Amino acid sequence: MRVLGLETSCDETGVAIYDSEQGLLAEALYSQIDLHAEYGGVVPELASRDHVRKLLPLVREVLTKAGMRGEELDGVAFTNGPGLAGALMVGACAGRAMAYGWGVPAVAVHHMEGHLLAPMLEENAPDFPFIALLVSGGHTQLVRVDGIGRYRILGESLDDAAGEAFDKAAKMLGLGYPGGPQVAKAAEQGTVGRYKFPRPMVNRPGLDFSFSGLKTFTLNTVAASREAGGHDAQDKADIAAAFQEAVVDTLVIKCTRALVQENLNTLVMAGGVSANTVLRARLAQKLAKTGGHVFYPRPEFCTDNGAMIAYAGHCRLQVGQAEGLGVSIRPRWPMTELTPV
């Protein structure tokens, strides 16, 4: 089964073709980072317009790379939520129209299920069951995964997602957008330990997260640094390092707690923040001590992409799931409402 995947939930237009026998045949991605950078964050209307401009050219590019025509596909998968309403509508309408025109079924994919299943695109893929850490600009969740569509939320952020906190910290430090890579780059030159940041909610029972207090602590630290007259490049790097260490430690502690609670030893990490090399190294080191294993997608599949949507869509199309002719996006869509496969 060959499935075309379309991702347009936020600020990246992703298109890919997945073959159930040959794996990923072709993929292409267009990032809107430069478009939104001057605003310090995503502008929904601009994002929607750019998806309209780039989606069909990317579809043609991917079909050419795969040496295929649209009529040779077996299905079309599109991100139906959660995400920005206007951006979702672009992919949903285009995907449903292409499927109708080519005479193939279409399936609506949950954006976070796509992220959760992205490590399955790698040669060394995890087996069910496992704990998934979904950590991005919009979500921070710990999920027990017993199979496709069989999800139980163990904990989630009560306010800012980890990726959102990175973006806000970067803005406070004047490091630019998107914040995650900018903070990580600055932290490489920082002195760990000069500043001590709190690890939010790690001393409380449960697996929920909260990063708003850490954001406030960062703001106060930056303000104190400026008042002291020493807010230079090194000071910014030191604050960035302290912030990153606090987020990484918090995520590692919560992941370890979730694995113990559920009596599992396999962790899957996905979403934009999962590309953070310090987080990857710290989790691998921690789990190695207990015989556990951590899986994550290649860096280019950590952020939004069409490959994860094509794969997730193929999983559901194979068991006969498909959409009607109507289009009904879900900007808010709990993963626990998904149908098991």
CATH of the domain at 133: 3.30.420.40
Do 89 and 211 lie in one domain? The reply is no
Do 287 and 318 lie in one domain? The reply is no
Asked whether residue 113 is domain-assigned, the answer is yes
Asked whether residue 134 is domain-assigned, the answer is yes
Residue-level pLDDT, tens digit, the chain, 341 residues: 999 999 999 999 999 999 999 999 999 999 999 999 989 889 999 999 999 999 999 999 999 999 999 999 999 999 999 999 999 999 999 999 999 999 999 999 999 999 999 999 999 999 999 999 999 988 999 999 999 999 999 999 999 999 999 999 999 999 988 899 999 999 999 999 999 999 999 999 999 999 999 999 999 999 999 998 777 999 999 999 999 999 999 999 999 999 999 999 999 999 999 999 999 999 999 999 999 999 999 999 999 999 999 999 999 999 999 999 999 999 999 999 999 99
Asked whether residue 228 is domain-assigned, the answer is yes
Q: Binding site: residue ranges?
A: 111, 115, 134-138, 167, 180, 276, 304
Asked whether residue 163 is domain-assigned, the answer is yes
Do 18 and 97 lie in one domain? The reply is yes
Q: Binding site for Fe cation: residue ranges?
A: 111, 115, 304
Do 189 and 273 lie in one domain? The reply is yes
pLDDT at 177: 87
| Spatial CA neighbour of 24 closest among 297, 331, 337 | 297
Domain that holds residue 229: 128-296
Do 165 and 271 lie in one domain? The reply is yes
Do 17 and 45 lie in one domain? The reply is yes
pLDDT at 101: 97
Do 195 and 108 lie in one domain? The reply is no
Do 148 and 169 lie in one domain? The reply is yes
CA distances to 4, 106, 142, 259, 293 from 150, in Å: 24, 22, 14, 17, 21
Do 218 and 191 lie in one domain? The reply is yes
Number of folded domains that form the chain: 2
Asked whether residue 30 is domain-assigned, the answer is yes
Do 305 and 292 lie in one domain? The reply is no
Do 75 and 132 lie in one domain? The reply is no
Asked whether residue 123 is domain-assigned, the answer is no
CA separation for the pair 20, 3 (Å, rounded)? 8
Dihedral-angle region of residue 19 (phi above 0 means left; psi in -120 to 50 means alpha; beta otherwise) = beta
Number of neighbouring beta carbons within 10 Å of residue 122: 14
Asked whether residue 231 is domain-assigned, the answer is yes
* 0.75 surpassed by pTM: yes
CA separation for the pair 169, 196 (Å, rounded)? 15
Phi, then psi, of 217 in degrees rounded to 5: -60, -40
CA separation for the pair 92, 329 (Å, rounded)? 7
Asked whether residue 122 is domain-assigned, the answer is no
Do 33 and 47 lie in one domain? The reply is yes
Angle at alpha carbon of residue 104, lines to 312 and 77, rounded to 5°: 25
Q: Binding site for substrate: residue ranges?
A: 134-138, 167, 180, 276
pLDDT at 186: 97
